[in-house]
Amino acid sequence: MNITQLKPYQQKPAPFTPGEPLFWDDPHISTQMLDAHLNPNHDHASRRPETIDRSVDWLIKTMELQPGNALLDLGCGPGLYASRFAQRGLQVTGVDYSQRSIEYAQEYAQQNGLEIEYRYQNYLELTDADQFDAALLIYGDFCPLSAEQRSQLLGNIHRALKPGGFFALDVTTRSHRQKHGSSNGWYLVENGFWKPGPHLVLEEGFDYPEESIYLDQAIVIEIDGKISVYRNWFQDYSLKTITAELAAGGFDIQSVWSNLTGTSYTEDTEWIGLVTRKK
């Protein structure tokens, strides 16, 4: 390959410039992601089972959910939260844009006698209206979206909720990014997260401090010289900025926390957990 092909990727891209499209639905990457979701020993894709259990208990209490209430789980992945809520008697709809995760969730529900509606769908294309008592967007799923996409998603959620319906989410802060942002480096693997064959990975992080935006970028070079660029964007928040964005989307803040298990909010928190209601 001609290494000068890499030069454009050294330049800092405009915020939310996309990389490879729909890569979470890539046959190989989605398999790696599902494995990460289901691994109980780390928080790489989903939180550990004991944390999920505490979140479900706390959210049911905080959002005053009762058996039979309709719950919308956005970015549900393999159904780790959805299945627990269904076991508590809620009518759950899970939405995710990974076919592999949805298929796993459907199989798990069938094997365990859980009546859950799972949809392979982009939640930016959600059209439901006045259907749900509560909605969830857990583990920072709001943060990788551009401002336009976030506004669209809030509109979709607002429309989908019944009057006064609850919406709970968590977002990252700059404190989190300072601890967990990517460091620049490279590595060579025979079979890795991004590709099944031999490939070289060049990792670089780009910070946009004035906008509280961060980019994790991975340039993947395969043995035949093919180059793929994967970009994970993150919009970080302060309590002030997330409160303003949610208010503009039609939601009243009910309570603020450092997570979705009920830990009290502090100024130096890495996460902000919010419980809101549709105005």
Q: What pLDDT digit, counting tens, does each position of 185-194 carry? A: 999 999 999 9
Query: Could you tell me the pLDDT band of residue 45, with boundaries at 50, 70 and 90?
Result: low
The whole-angstrom separation of Cα 163 and Cα 82 is 22
The whole-angstrom separation of Cα 188 and Cα 186 is 7
Question: Which residue, 234, 237, 187, is CA-closest to 214?
Answer: 234
Q: Which residues pair with 222 in a beta bridge?
A: 199
Tell me what pLDDT residue 222 has: 95
pTM: 0.93
The whole-angstrom separation of Cα 120 and Cα 252 is 29
The whole-angstrom separation of Cα 194 and Cα 105 is 23
Q: What is the edge-to-edge ordering of all strands in the sheet holding 251-257?
A: 117-120, 91-96, 70-74, 132-137, 161-172, 271-278, 251-257
Question: Which residue, 183, 34, 163, is CA-closest to 104?
Answer: 34
Cβ-proximal residues to 227 (8 Å cutoff; 6+ apart), any chain = 1, 5, 6, 219, 220, 221
Across the range 28-55, mean pLDDT stands at 82
Higher pLDDT: 79 or 4? It is: 79
Q: Which residues pair with 132 in a beta bridge?
A: 161
| Residue 37 confidence (pLDDT) above 90 | no
In this prediction, what percent of the chain has a pLDDT beyond 70?
Answer: 98
Which residue type sits at 245? Answer: E
The whole-angstrom separation of Cα 92 and Cα 118 is 8
The whole-angstrom separation of Cα 66 and Cα 83 is 16
Convert the pLDDT of each residue in 198-251 to its tens digit. Answer: 999 999 999 999 999 999 999 999 999 999 999 999 999 999 999 999 999 999
| Residue 80 confidence (pLDDT) above 70 | yes
Domain ranges of the chain: 29-173+237-278, 174-236
The CATH number that domain 29-173+237-278 falls under is 3.40.50.150
| Residue 38 confidence (pLDDT) above 80 | no
The CATH number that domain 174-236 falls under is 2.20.25
Convert the pLDDT of each residue in 145-170 to its tens digit. Answer: 999 999 999 999 999 999 999 999 99
User: Which span out of 25-29, 33-37, 68-72 was modeled with the highest average pLDDT?
Assistant: 68-72
Tell me what pLDDT residue 6 has: 84
| Residue 182 confidence (pLDDT) above 70 | no
